[in-house]
Structure 1
């Protein structure tokens, strides 16, 4: 690429390899949900154990993202990108070959750990050697990959399970991961820049990992059963750990999350809105998937959802230029307003039949809006972060988005289990609208526009 700079630039194909990796990382948080009944039928998990097929990945991913981001700052994002990709691919093969519930859950834990190394390193690798114009385009593609991966999970999970069996939900990652690894050695050469800090804040890493993991675990348990004491106990246990983490970080000579990061313009607002984006779109997408699959077989139902995926990609690719022209705050407000409007259209679905035109219109509006909002939240949360903190900033931002997804599902799952399915569906849609409006309020914590360019930060 002619517009890349730095000693070891991202070559042609670099965008593609990190975007593909981001796609499968986010995809694996949702794709398994549609395969859970088939997994239970073959391996015999039982209703409680089956939840861990989903939870093992999301909890490990959320808990280790900040540590993975800091590791990318210390060891270099390209090195950590490849390490995470190897672990993720190997664990995906282990999931596909699992012969027992324990084997599958252990493989999912390793898969989540690999994803936690991979995701923040991918974003940091993109930003470290790009000119401002290239960085804006790359951010659009990276955001489109992540948003498209999350949206595609609801579709691909059902299709792969019906056509090839549940093991293909995991096996599909293996050839993709191997190809991405081979390409990365040419497209992402060298070790990349690293921070002068050579030590890792182990006490802080342990506390934040445990605190976030317990938060994700609690939300996941509550989503499965709001009355379970395990979920509420996990949330209660997370609070003092995170408070102690904040205290330890203030006195650490080499903190895991430098104090200057939290004070960096746009970081707080970027994380708040990143969580709101995923929390506002996960409930209506899960609800819409349940509604459509109650009317049609999974393979046919999956043909409706690509409209949403394509709209997400379109909004993400248009997002960088729109944010540059109109400002990140305006694009966030427009994105959250569009999400709320698109979800409101879903309130019009009838009890019987599949209103194709209405669903396509709602998915298109939601997808475009999600893409715009995602790009703007990522821009706000990373654009003004100094070199040496980009990996941990990416880890924090991705962790916020992951927790937003988990929170959205925790809010949605109990209401969609109502005795009257249509009542549950509409309550799920209303949750999405309320969270989207809360995201619009959070947008006012984001600067109107990015003040500094990538070149000015080097």
Structure 2
């Protein structure tokens, strides 16, 4: 077998094609389950006879463990073998997917979704790290471009396939579809993908930091979701206070550890800190929008699951087709204008979506839905690639992988908190998704909130981001083809260069 340490594999070789195939299949499993779940939510609620809080947890349980552990997952691969950790992640994800597909009730489904997130945290950083470690330096950009482009195609067809499965054999097949993908991915990985490690990696991992971050997010999320059901009960208040205290403890632990998962020193860069705040605003808005809009289309406008998934498809297609061009634009004019204009356009798209109400229908798609989706998609195209580039340019090149991992985790945490908080802020009751009139009224209150987050991100970007093109030096063509609907893409070239916290 070819030695990965030499990085001698060529893309055009049979070994190279096998590596691209298995990494695309592995990362697609995690990507699909984070994008298609929204279209399945109304059917899950109906079949399991559960309330809105359980649907929120169905989304958030996955995001919680993925966001909390993705940095640690990359570090484990560097230390113990990237292929080994990737394979463990694929098996873990497949088993958790089987549990999701067989779940007899909401509690089991939520627990299985949390386990899925653990598997995703192991395989998501590992798939790209394997490409970087295996291919010849001259072929790495091409290999990453193939991985990114094929992953983008998967993201584009995911909601369509998910909707078709929900309307056809049922929502359980959204999860069971991962089993044949894993059945192909595993033998290919074991036979054709070489093992690799970071020789400078050590066995000291910031498990305490990862645990504190995940528990803090979990308690705050619990409090936000349960307030509409329990009110300001002792349990809810205690969870909120406990989450805040654990967050403070996480900061203190990271400040005093020799090898922290999130080194506080990285935030000494004012631009890095500011752009992560912009990232948080943008992906909180996107997370809330995609969660609520898929339900709005089905419960209020009367779309099928397939119709809802297809209706939102143009956003992903636009990103797949034009993100590279947006990256080129950012390199020429600097990131400040794209990071200001992009969120404003995306906000306008969300406000246009307010036209999708009880009077909307599949027959009026081109009048009611498509304009909103196109404006939203154009805004995302303009902002995602420069956002990633600016994060990478704000730190030393040796910390690019770490910076990318932090930015990716921040985006996922933002989506998690938005899905928890928006229904509360919009006044959605536990049974809102069962009543078209109630859900439509609360949706009209939620969309301006999402748009407001994007406007806040735009203002912060205009106020803090440097205007020079050099601020976008981290943006390369292979970075910009991957679809950033749920989180910014991870940094490809130096993804494996980080130490214990790198992804």
Q: Which residue does the alignment assign to 2:365?
A: 356
Mapped partners of 2:269, 2:136: distance in 1: 21
Which one of 210, 213, 219 corresponds to residue 215 of structure 2? 210
Q: How far off its partner does 1:312 sit? A: 2.8
Tell me which residue corresponds to 2:7: 7
Distance in 2, matches of 1:303 and 1:53, equals 22
Tell me if 1:291 matches 2:300. Answer: no
Question: For the structure 1 residues 255 and 139, does the alpha-carbon distance in structure 2 shift closer, same or farther, using more than 3 Å as the test?
Answer: farther
Distance 1:122 1:389, change over 3 A: farther
| Paired residue secondary structure (1:347) | helix
Give the Å deviation of 1:436: 0.9
Q: Map Cα deviations across residues 19-57 of structure 1 (whole Å, 9 max, x no partner).
A: 554443243235334434544555566776565433432
Match of 1:436 in 2: 454
- Residue 384 (structure 2) aligned to one of 371, 374, 378: 374
CA contact (8 A) 2:24 2:147 kept: yes
- Which residue in 1 is equivalent to 2:198? 193
For residues 338 and 101 of structure 2, the distance between their equivalents in structure 1, rounded to whole angstroms, comes to 41
Within 2, Cα distance between the matches of 1:10 and 1:391?
Answer: 23
- 1:351-430 to structure 2, matched below 5 A, reads 351-354=358-361, 355-358=364-367, 359-382=369-392, 392-414=402-424, 415=426, 417=428, 421-430=439-448
How far residue 103 of structure 1 moved from its aligned partner, in angstroms, is 4.4
Query: Following the alignment from structure 2 to structure 1, what is the Cα–Cα distance between the partners of residues 230 and 395?
Result: 38
Of residues 28, 35, 44, the one that matches 2:33 is: 28
Given that 1:70 and 1:395 are in contact with CA atoms closer than 8 Å, whether structure 2 keeps it comes out as no
Distance 1:89-1:54 versus aligned 2 partners, 3 A rule: same
Tell me the distance in 2 between the aligned counterparts of 1:131 and 1:76: 20
- Give 1:296 shift: 2.8
Distance in 2 of aligned mates of 1:279 and 1:109:
20
Number of residues of Structure 1 aligned to a counterpart in Structure 2: 452
Q: How many angstroms does 1:137 deviate by?
A: 8.9
2:23–2:147: 8 Å Cα contact kept in structure 1?
Answer: no
The answer as to whether partners of 1:279 and 1:405 remain within 8 angstroms in 2 is yes
2:90 paired residue among 85, 88, 91: 85
In structure 1, distance between residues paired with 2:45 and 2:466 = 47
1:353-400 C-alpha deviation (Å, 9 max, x unpaired):
333224212212212322342223233334666687566544422221
Match of 2:109 among 104, 107, 112: 104
Displacement of 1:268: 2.6
Kindly state the Cα deviation for residue 247 of structure 1 after the two structures are TM-superposed. 1.7
User: SS state of the match for residue 164, structure 1?
Assistant: coil
CA distance in 2, matches of 1:163, 1:66: 37
CA contact (8 A) 1:55 1:220 kept: no
| 1:322 aligned onto 2:332 | no
Q: For 1:137 and 1:333, locate their aligned partners in 2 and report how far apart those are by CA, in whole Å.
A: 32
Distance 1:451 1:55, change over 3 A: closer
Q: 1:95 to 1:214 in 2, by over 3 A?
A: same
Deviation, 1:335, is 1.9
Distance 2:136 2:337 in 1: 25
Alignment of 1:260-339 (within 5 A): 260-263=265-268, 267-293=272-298, 294=300, 295-339=302-346
Aligned-pair RMSD on alpha carbons? 4.0
Name the CA shift for 1:228/1:184 in 2 (closer, same or farther; >3 Å): farther
Greater shift in the superposed pair: 258-267 or 232-241: 258-267
Shift of the alpha carbon at 1:134? 5.7
Partner Cα separation in structure 1 for residue 266 and residue 142 of structure 2? 21
Question: What does the per-residue CA deviation read over 1:109-143, in whole Å, with 9 as the maximum and x for residues that have no partner?
Answer: 32111112222334545566786996599479649
Distance 1:169 1:272, change over 3 A: same
User: Structure 1 264/174 Cα, relative in aligned 2: closer, same or farther at 3 Å?
Assistant: farther
| Structure-2 change in CA distance of 1:131 and 1:70 (3 Å) | same
Taking structure 2 as the reference length, what is the TM-score of the superposition? 0.75
**C-alpha spacing 1:111/1:380, structure 2 compared with 1 (3 Å):** same
CA distance in 1, matches of 2:161, 2:225: 22
**Residues of 2 paired with 1:265 and 1:237: CA distance?**
29
Distance 1:148 1:438 in 2: 31
CA distance in 2, matches of 1:241, 1:67: 18
SS in 1 for 2:261: coil
Find 1:340's aligned residue among 347, 355, 360. Answer: 347
